[in-house]
Homo-oligomer: A and B are copies of this chain.
């Protein structure tokens, strides 16, 4: 977790999750470190974090926000990867769009790194898992 250490009493957090499904061949290449462009998981994690920071430049009605923590993780599944993003802010706005954007950009980055061997990858479902803080109360899927 990229964490700046403050302990705000009014923090908001959102967790989003998504999935990318790969062919067996592509998956074998990722897992054996054979992808020519570099490590897709490491690239996806960083791209997801950077993507979260660009959310307000991508989504027309999203507010620019100070974010106090962004975390993106990729977890292996039998047919690909689950991607989870957690985003926190002390601002007075929810951060579900930042979390969803992080997941989407991370998944797109895996696609980009692996597309030379597999053009049939599918991304999704991407969805909000949890949202805490804020006026509308806690949401848990």
Contacts and interface: CB of A to CB of B under 8 A. Distances in A.
B43 A61 contact: yes
Contacts of A121: 127-128
A62 B109 CA distance: 9
Given A4-B92, A123-B124, A126-B123, A61 B49 contact: yes
A67 B4 CA distance: 16
B120 A123 contact: no
Nearest to A141: B120
Contact of A47 (B54, B58, B128): B58
Contact of A2 (B37, B46, B58, B109): B37
Number of copies: 6
**Interface range on chain A (Cβ under 8 Å from partner):** 35 or more
Nearest to A96: B115
A125 interface: yes
Contacts of A126: 107, 122-124
17 contacts: A4-B92, A5-B92, A46-B60, A50-B57, A50-B58, A57-B57, A59-B112, A61-B112, A62-B112, A63-B68, A64-B67, A66-B91, A97-B112, A104-B105, A119-B139, A120-B128, A122-B127
